Structures are given as C-alpha cells and as structure tokens.
Amino acid sequence: MAQHFPVQRTCPFAPPPEYARLREQAPLVRAALPGGEVWLVTRHAEAQRVLSGEGISTNPATPGHPNTLLTPEPPTPEQTAALQESAVGHFIDLDPPEHTRFRKLLIPEFTVRRVKELRPSIQRLVDELIDEMLAKGREAELVEDFGLALPSLVICRLLGVPYAEREFFQSRTRTIVSATEDPAAAYTAMTEIRTFLDDLVTAAERDPQDDLLGRLIDGGQLTHRELVGVIFLLLVAGHETTANMIPLGVLTLLRHPAQLAALRADPAGWPMAVEELLRYHSIVDWVAFDRVSVRDQEIGGQEVREGEGIFVLGASANWDERVFERPDEFDVARGARHHVAFGYGVHQCLGQNLARAELEIALRTLFERVPDLRVTVADEDVPAKYEGVIFGLKALPVAW
C-alpha cells in the first residue's frame, strides 16, 4: 500500500516520524496524494541525483507534475489563469535554458562577495531590532519582533519595497504557504501581492533606483511581467524561509546549552552551527523539491516512467544515516555543508549566501547581547506550524 502524503511533523526538532521507516524501506517509495500517486525520494544520494536535473523537469506545466495531484479537484479556470500569470518570471519553475536566462541575471546580486558587502547593513538592522526589544522591557515575542522583522527589513531594502508595506506582504505570504488555506484564499492573496508588485515595478521603471530592481530594469533584458514575477519570487522566498529559521535556531540552541556556550566562547564556529541548523530542521522539505520525470529511467533501483511525479524529501535526505552519523543529534561541530536544505544542482537556492549571513549575524548577535535569554514556556507548549508546507514556529515567548 502506498504511503499517504503529505504527512505532518509532530515535533519541532524532527522530521515526520514516517520518514525513517520510508528511508529504511527504499530510496524511492510510492505515495498516494489526493489526486494520484507519486514517487518519494527518501535518501541523500538519490535526492542529489533527482535535484541535479538530468532527465527531470521542475516545470508545473510538464505532464505528470506532482503539484497537480495535491488536491482531488482540478483548479478552476480562474485559478488556472492566475497560476499561469504567476508563472511568468517565476524562474524556479522553469527548466534550462529559460531558467538559465533568469539565473544569470540574478547571480551577481547574491554572490559571496555581494553578500559580504551587505553584512554591515544586516548587522545594523539586527542591532536596531535588539535595541527595540530591550527598550520595551524584559520580555518579547521573538517570532514577530525578531524572526519576521529582520528578513522583512533585508528583503525590503534589497528590492526597494517600502518597509511600511511589510505587514501587507507578510500576511499574504503566510496565506500562500499555509497548507490549511483553501485554494481560493491562496489565489486571492497571490493576486493581491502581484497587483502591489505590478505597481511597484511600474513606479521603478519610471525612476530606477540603485537597488536590485533598478539594476534589473536598467539591464533591459526582462519584460514588465517577468520583472513582477521575479520580484514576487524573491520577496516570498527571501522572507518566509529565513523568518522561520531564526526562531527555530534560537529554540534549538537554548535546548543545547553546552553547544551554545562553545559558540559564545569561540564565535568562529557560528557558520558551521548555521549549516547544522539548516540540516537539522530542513524546514522547506518537499514543497520546493517537486519534480517530474521526462523520460523512462532508473533511480535508486526503481523504474521511474516518463510523466511520473517526484517529491524529494529534503528533511529525510538530511537525516540519512548513510551520510550523516547520528543524524537525529544536533551537533554544531558536524560540518554538514553537503546537506540539501538549499537544494542541489541547477535549481540550488539563489539566495543561500544571504540566508546564511542573516542567520549567522542574527543568532550570534542576539546571544551576545542578551546572554540570559530564555524561553518562557516548555517545548511542548511552543506553537508550531505543523499544518504548514514550510515549517516554523507560530510564536516564541522569551525573557531575559
């Protein structure tokens, strides 16, 4: 019998418990979605093989793509039209060479060198947010006051989005990525964000600034609709993931005081600690790793036919005992940069260097400046987004 999918997490510190059984069973297993069956990739080597892109498509328009099977009913004509419109410029859902055209334009904005130039401004933003928290008293809600706020400030500055609009796009983004919202609500939220960004791009085209959007406009290689799609993608992807990882990182490190003490004693260990946090939590899991085979081929000893959908379980691959010793243990000294939290191959996350910098600066500075930080509720009382397609915490009450 095929595994029913998706399955929810039940603990803030582990993938769904079914993943271990599936990983032991086979590198690829069949799963039942509301609209049909797909392959689940459970192990690290096969995850890299599929994500490398050979014989694989990421385009939702490719016949058999698994996203079409997530709901039992086909989308309405209105929803189909909205999805087609959103696909313009949404380059992570394109295959080469079209995907390559967009990626080449954006790579210079996210290189290690460019992110190094951004680090002083990220540090200033982190310090300002901590100043505001400390000025309010000795308690805070870390998701709202710090986790959501920092990526919002960074991505707003990067894209030229007025920070006053952050609550608007945060609320719509949460609707889009929530598995509990109905398709009509997600469609409305997506339409509202794209309308807002359409106006933003129109204004920037009249008066380009020295920011990422302005440089893309000056380059003259993208149409207006493509620019809207690219900014939509960067806004959602650059905000939601890091916003969820920061509070999770705080909770995890407070749960491992000896390892936190080692990082305080030797701050040079923070980059490695960030890699372990990314591996350990793998908050995006399957939602960004949706693929479809474009030919008959063997993967992990299984015959995968043309037109069969595939979900790579990133959280399972990153807990693969064949690659990571004691994967269920959190170890900041592990050195796990070969994880697939950012994907692998041609579609590997473009903003990974920026995400790493934000996480490192945010966590290091918070624990340096608030040495007696503590969570004020038990682990089991921390509300988590178990129903979401991107995992995280709904709230994290802290005091010092």
Domain extents in the chain = 3-399
> Whole-model pTM above 0.75?
yes
CA gap 341, 10 in Å, rounded? 20
The full DSSP string for 119-154 is: HHHHHHHHHHHHHHHHHH-SEEEHIIIIITHHHHHH
Listed residue (109, 329, 81) closest to 194, CA to CA: 81
Q: No. of H helices and E strands in the chain?
A: 15, 11
Domain 3-399 CATH (choose: 3.10.530.10, 3.40.50.720, 1.10.357.10, 1.10.630.10):
1.10.630.10
Listed residue (326, 368, 318) closest to 343, CA to CA: 318
Torsion sign across C-alpha atoms 216, 221, 224, 226: negative
Q: How many CB atoms lie within 10 A of CB 184?
A: 11
Residue 29: C-alpha distances to residues 40, 311, 344 (Å): 5, 10, 21
Q: How far is CA 182 from the centre of its chain?
A: 21
Q: Residue 131 burial by CB count (10 A; 0-12/13-18/19+): exposed, middle or buried?
A: exposed
CA gap 350, 238 in Å, rounded? 10
Taking only the tens of pLDDT, the chain with its 400 residues reads 677 899 999 999 999 999 999 999 999 999 999 888 999 999 999 999 999 989 999 998 899 999 888 877 666 676 666 666 667 888 999 999 999 999 999 999 999 999 999 999 999 999 999 999 999 999 999 998 999 889 988 988 888 877 777 778 777 776 776 655 566 777 788 888 888 889 999 999 999 988 899 999 999 999 999 999 999 888 877 778 899 999 999 999 999 999 999 999 999 999 999 999 999 999 999 988 999 999 999 999 999 999 999 999 999 999 999 999 999 999 999 988 899 999 999 999 999 999 999 999 999 999 999 999 999 999 889 999 998 888 999 999 999 9
pLDDT for residue 101: 94
Residues in the chain: 400
CA gap 76, 183 in Å, rounded? 9
Q: Are 64 and 294 spatial neighbours (Cβ–Cβ below 8 Å)?
A: no
φ, ψ for residue 136, nearest 5 deg = -80, -15
pLDDT for residue 88: 83
